[in-house]
A and B are shown apart, each in its own frame.
Chain A
Amino acid sequence: MRDHFDTRSRGNKDQPATGGQDFKDLVESSPVAFYTCDKNGYLTYFNRAAVRLWSMEPEPGRDLWHSPWKFYYPDGQPMPLDACPMSRTLKEGKSFEGVEITIERSDHTFRNLLVFPQPLFGEENDLIGAHNTLVDITTQKLGDQNQAILTAIVESSDDAIVSKDLNGMITSWNKAAEHIFGYTEAEVRGKHISILIPPALLSEEDTIIGSIRAGQKIDHFQTIRRHKSGKEIPISLTVSPVRDSTGKIIGASKIARDISERLHTEKIAEQSVHRLSVLNAVGKAISEKLDVQAILQQVTDATTQVSGAAFGAFFYNKVDEQGESYMLFTLSGAPREAFEKFGMPRNTAVFDATFSGKGNVRVGNIRKDPRYGHNAPHHGMPKGHLPVVSYLAIPVISASGTVIGGLFFGHPEPDKFTLEHEELVSGIAAQAAIALDNSKLFEEVKALSAKKDEFIALASHELKTPLTSIKGFLQVLDRADREPTDKLFITKALGQVEKLNALVSDLLDVSRVEGGQLRFDKVEFDLKEAVNDIIETLNYTHKTHRILVSQPEDRLVVEADRQRIEQVLVNLLTNAIKYSPKADQVWVELEHSPDTVTVRVRDKGIGLTPEQQKNVFTRFYRAEGTSGIAGLGLGLYLTKEIIDRHGGRISVTSTPGSGSEFSFSLPFTKKINKY
């Protein structure tokens, strides 16, 4: 097909085919597309580059030159076929030199071309066809576009983008660089990059250039650079080596981001985190504590910290008889003496706003406030007063609406306190008010409880005084020879006196446990001996049951309050007897391990349900179904308290209807001594 290339068809027979076959080969292998067509536009010849451009192989003589294409102007507008340079050449016989067009090929790809259509005339000078040379400029066009895009990106970036050669000389400078550093491109191009570097950091440049020469990129390096005005700016630098087409490093591109905004945001974030942690700590502390002084100190410290005050104080809203003083309570950031010198803060116009519940007071400069300086004798802060200029006062208001007190903050510089500070402190003040209310309730309850304990102690003493004489006189009566009935009655009366005495003792003990006043008189004694003594007494006084004991031969020496441990044994044994009315035996077992001695008291009585077992050591708890059996529900509570406070353990296992086993263990203080 390529044979259709025929130089003669140019209609110039006088000129021999230059080079003949050689010339044909030259055209054939040219990288520039070339074709010829007849006057009707049918292709007569095309070279390989043309086939590549068409991306198809046309059939000479049958396919038109334009058949696979659509045409566009360079700006993308469609170009009618008639307007194509080649169409015009064929129609008008005109030649064109380098007209730019865009073609869309059958595979919908686009190419940018420069076309050079030339008419071919016959011997009669008639138009017999045309040839066209098509130069593909797509790549160059794309390169231009990319360049334009890159330039636009660089110019529109908010980051300074600067390039420099390996000597540090600035070679390009974008708009943002102008904005960030204050120099125009003209001012800095060709200057050394060090004009941007603060003198103290000049050595950084050597390090940077060193890395660049070594082909290493520097990523997000935070440093300081200098604005034209001399102002220092925190920036984040990314520096990359720039290579030429052979890969040789010829310079560096440098992206500098102004991070003052970011650092500022980070600082704010850090502050909020800090504030949150302070708030959290204070919230936790005041909800856990019931001690007013501790709560107030915590609140004063925390609020002084979050408000950035130089000093802070909490004053209680207490008015003395002259209607003046407020009681100073807690201080932060200043020693107590700083206030004590002046006596108490006074009921002045400035303080009144807070204590009378008029809300928060926040003043940039209190010395210029209309309320300031009206009170004799100082008319303002007395000499030596803490230097308050910025002033913030937040009332602490209880749930009932009364002003409990006020939080006061000062700073020696003006305008230190913001609305945010005010809100933060108000939040804490609200929490503090709740905590203070609770603490007040707690104090009241504590006072009532103390009164109750005092009453019980007095009552038990008063009850025991008549018991002493009743018991004494009954015993005196019992000495003489009497009728058996008299004897029996006296014994019964004495038994009741003992019961009454035990109840009174238990009541008193409970109030002492509650008040934390149960005292132990610890001595070393043989627990086995104590158990045997008690069993002997009980076997004598409780004829209904036999107490059977099994015990090791060793002495079981413990360090404990003997009287209290005996009280425990009596409680457990009398309970075992009391709650096994149908049985006639109770068992006691003593055993020991190297560290502890254990006493088990077992009965075949009415037993306890699992629910009852859980509650049996609770104060005033009485198991259901025991209403016929006397008791206040104090014995086991006291028993557990006594054992707990000796570092021992007490437990119960029981089956309703078949009996219970109570056991307690005490730690050995000494090794077991053999007899």
Chain B
Amino acid sequence: MSSLIKKTICVVEDDPDISDLIEYLLADMGFNVTCYATVDAFDRRPAGTVPELLILDIMLPDGSGLDICRRWKADQDSPKIPVLIMSAHSEGKSLAQDVCADDFISKPFDINEFARRVQLSLAS
């Protein structure tokens, strides 16, 4: 990445391997990545870091990425940043639309497609 200040992307994904994969891919693309495995962990994230993009899994051990998205979009104080939802859920796309997510990618995904979606989301 040419930019000196790395953009931060926040990922909420409970599967450690997928989390690792995403972290690896995004880091490779030159982003700062912070990963959380639960809704609770995401909620208790340290204040200060403002992400440029949220990537949320739907099915989480203590809740749903959809709820995080809904809350984020409804909260006036939340930074206006894109939210990308990913899931192995077959109805994921329409569920993501219901909570006003900016994009959706279904699992399993093609890593090149994943990278493209991330870039697209950030560009919008």
Contact = CB atoms under 8 A, between A and B. Distances in A.
Interface in A425-466: 457, 460-461, 464-466
B21 A508 contact: no
Interface of B: 15, 17-18, 20-21, 24-25, 59, 88-91, 93-94, 107-112, 114
A461 B59 contact: yes
A466 B108 CA distance: 9
A473 interface: yes
A509 B89 CA distance: 11
A321 B15 CA distance: 46
A501 interface: yes
Indicate the member of A464, A505, A509 with the most B CB atoms within 10 Å. A464
A521 interface: yes
A519 interface: yes
A464 B59 CA distance: 12
A464 B90 CA distance: 10
A497 interface: yes
Interface of A: 457, 460-461, 464-473, 475-476, 497, 501, 505, 508-509, 512, 519, 521
A471 B59 CA distance: 20
Contacts, number: 58
A505 B110 contact: no
A472 B88 contact: no
Given A476-B111, A497-B108, A501-B108, A469 B17 contact: yes
B15 to A, nearest CB: 5
Q: Determine chain A's interface SS by DSSP, over half rule.
A: helix
A465 B25 contact: no
B108 A464 contact: yes
A472 B93 contact: no
A476 B112 CA distance: 10
Nearest to A462: B88
A475 B112 contact: yes
Given A476-B21, A476-B25, A468 B111 contact: no
Nearest to B107: A468
A460 B59 CA distance: 13
B88 A461 contact: yes
Nearest to A563: B93
A589 to B, nearest CB: 30
B112 A469 contact: no
Contacts of B109: 468, 471-472
A465 B111 contact: no
A476 B17 CA distance: 13
Nearest to B89: A461
